[in-house]
Amino acid sequence: MERMAAEFEDAHPDVDITIETFAWPEFYTMWTTGLATGQVPDLSTALPNHVVEMIGAEALVPLDDVIEEIGHERFSEAALTEGSKDGHAYAIPIYSHAQVMWYRTDLLEDAGIAVPETWEELAHAAAALTEDGTYGLSVPLGANDMMGSRFLNFYVQSAGERLLADDGRANLTSEAALEGIDYWVEAYRSTSPEGSLNYDVLDQATLFYQGRTAFDFNSGFHISGVEGASPDLLGDIAAAPLPRMAAGEPHYGGETSNIPMVVWEASDVQEEAKAFLRFLYNDEDYIEFLHSVPGGMLPAMSDISDSPEYQDNDVIEEFSESVAVIEEAVPLGTAIGMEQGPALQAGILTSQGVVERMFHSVILDGTDTREAAEAAERELNELFEAAGAEIG
């Protein structure tokens, strides 16, 4: 990205580009507080759940013209829909990925354990592999991130339900949701480090990068993470589909992220920002961008996915089976809470820490699961209504 910025500046001497990076939880705070002061970027990445809130706050400009220049037909309609309202697209996906189950092949082989296909099998395998400083499965529940919501969403999705019900209200008290809460509470107590109660996404991933967990849920970014932290373990990791309720049931999406780029309404250089955005999608440079995190950043455009230039990468070839698992999951899922299309509730569900604090109440305070779930569900619905979300 820095090289692309430098090349764009060379071609446009009157433009200066400054790049800043933030962790996702930090970025949410940055843009929500920045709206009040006008201190927002000209151009930025976002999360699909963020974009719905950004559109509602009239913080973004439409990007239909940029999409047409790149080629509307090249993008997944589902990915464009997540960032659209009233027939206008306010976001363009820069890359995609999906959540899958990562595991240590060497630990399973040494213990004579098959790759788990169900939640019950995962619980048994994780318990068996929790020993000698290795945790079977860490359960991240930090209230400043969305990881508790993510893990609960996996379980609820596998039961054929969603964390947002058909009427737009929170779903934390169905039997599947209550079972999921109990499942993750038990996993926290039996196979997870005590400190994971406060883990965010990076804390969680780092354990797997360091070889301290046998299982984890994440995208293909785990490949580069392990390569950077514990290169000797790179040959001992692989991805499998998310666990199901019973073996043989169809695979489900769980969570797909089509990471978008957006241009901000407060920018006084909107045309320059759009021009740089279009510049990022030049095929050769775009493929090089994807190859900076091979297997982690999957193409947002179908013709790039099939191109020999994209496929010609050592990591993508080495992890072809794991990448195939992720590619299969991408079209099956959406951002959390977006299963029925863009919803303001999705951003609230994943940004306010309500689900995570619910887990804290059960684990730390001993609150009954149903009581904690009812309180969290009530709090979310009140937040939805206060934000003006559509509830049936």
Q: In tens digits, what is the pLDDT along the chain, a chain of 392 residues?
A: 999 999 999 999 999 999 999 888 788 888 989 988 889 999 999 988 889 989 999 999 999 999 999 999 999 888 899 999 999 999 999 999 999 999 999 999 999 999 999 999 999 999 999 998 999 999 999 999 999 999 999 999 999 999 999 999 999 999 999 999 999 999 999 999 999 999 999 999 999 999 999 999 999 999 999 999 999 999 999 999 999 999 999 999 999 999 999 999 999 999 999 999 999 999 999 999 999 999 999 999 989 998 999 999 999 999 999 999 999 999 999 999 999 989 999 999 999 999 999 999 999 999 999 999 999 999 999 999 999 988 87
Matching residue, tokens 């430098």:
6
Residue 356, C-beta contacts closer than 8 angstroms, at least 6 positions apart: 141, 142, 143, 145, 146, 147, 148, 149
Residue 15, C-beta contacts closer than 8 angstroms, at least 6 positions apart: 8, 9, 269, 272, 276
Q: Can you give the pLDDT at residue 77? A: 87
For 50, 64, 92, 317, the CA distances from 278, given in Å and listed in that order, are 22, 12, 10, 29
Contact 114, 108 (CB under 8 A): yes
Parallel, antiparallel, or unpaired: how do β-strands 84-85 and 88-89 relate?
antiparallel
Distance CA 113, CA 94 (A): 38
85: how many CB neighbours lie within 10 A of its CB?
15
**Which of 93, 87, 49 is closest to 339 using CA atoms?**
49
Count helices and strands (H / E) in the chain. 20, 9
* DSSP-based three-state secondary structure for 328: helix
What are the tokens at 313? 């990468």
Name 264's bridge partners: 60
Instruction: Name the pTM for this structure.
Output: 0.93
Burial of 148 per CB tally in 10 Å (0-12, 13-18, 19+): buried
What are the backbone angles phi and psi of residue 125, rounded to the nearest 5°? -65, -45
Contact 196, 188 (CB under 8 A): yes
For 32, 55, 83, 99, 263, the CA distances from 342, given in Å and listed in that order, are 19, 10, 7, 19, 18
Contact 49, 145 (CB under 8 A): no
CATH 3.40.190.10 fits 100-252+352-386, yes or no: yes
CATH 3.40.190.10 fits 2-97+255-332, yes or no: yes
What are the start and end residues of each CATH 3.40.190.10 domain in the chain?
A: 2-97+255-332, 100-252+352-386
Distance CA 99, CA 58 (A): 30
